[in-house]
Structure 1
């Protein structure tokens, strides 16, 4: 190798040294910070009714994912316990016996009615999925089908 070639290579390495050192000692990339978002908070259910007291007894939490096929509806029912959910997918119309209607789309939260007959219907072309959290007590049902309406 000639002196000129050695000098050029040394010069190029010297020029690239700050870039190489910077990449070697660069701080680890910052990951995004975790976030939280309050979706819903209320003393009332979606139709404006006050929520009841929690039941007495040994607490029991149930988490249920419900799938409603396109163009179908759930049976008329009521919940004797406080519950809330989030629509994960699709669209859902919730109707209570008082004539109140709630239109939901994916991502919408719901604080459900308690001891009020209601049903959900999917008028869309895709399945609707809702994740529901029930705050009950040992020995209590979380869903009771309305035998009069169905």
Structure 2
């Protein structure tokens, strides 16, 4: 038992010496910026409660060519897209729209039909982070009637 306590103490001391390597005033050169933190999607609607099964994180990178529209789709889980380059216009079915430029974040709607369009002259680059569960699709395309 003494050996376990000694091992845990040594581990804590070693770990404590590593912890200071985080972003704060005493560590010049490390810069952090909170880009977005919100409980609402891009339309201002509240996000739903988290799913009840075991979590899974998925990250995807999208490149949308100029003058290209994504298909109408919806997401069954919470996700957010960081616009790395270009400008994307997102449309909610029914008329609400908003433009997102390089450096901005799109907090996606959950279970609402929408789509994005790159109306610009350069490709839109997105990195999308999904808080989902195993087996749940990341997006569901709307079928044409």
For normalisation by structure 2, the TM-score amounts to: 0.78
1:40–1:110 CA contact under 8 A, matched in 2 = no
Q: 1:73-132: CA deviations, max 9, x gaps?
A: 100000000001210011110000131111011111111111000000001111001111
CA apart distance, 1:32 = 3.9
Q: Distance in 1 between matches of 2:51 and 2:135?
A: 11
Match of 1:44 in 2: 40
Q: Structure 1: which 4+ aligned runs deviate by more than 2 Å? A: none
Which consecutive unaligned segments of at least 5 residues does structure 2 have? 1-26
Bigger mean CA deviation after superposition, 32-41 or 108-117: 32-41
Match of 1:113 in 2: 109
CA apart distance, 1:58 = 1.6
Which consecutive unaligned segments of at least 5 residues does structure 1 have? 1-30
Bigger radius of gyration, 1 or 2?
1
Q: Distance in 1 between matches of 2:76 and 2:30?
A: 35
Structure-to-structure mapping, 1:79-90, within 5 angstroms: 79-90=75-86
Superposed CA RMSD in Å reads 1.3
Aligned length, in residue pairs: 119
Q: Does 2:92 correspond to 1:96?
A: yes
SS in 1 for 2:42: coil
For normalisation by structure 1, the TM-score amounts to: 0.76
CA apart distance, 1:33 = 2.4
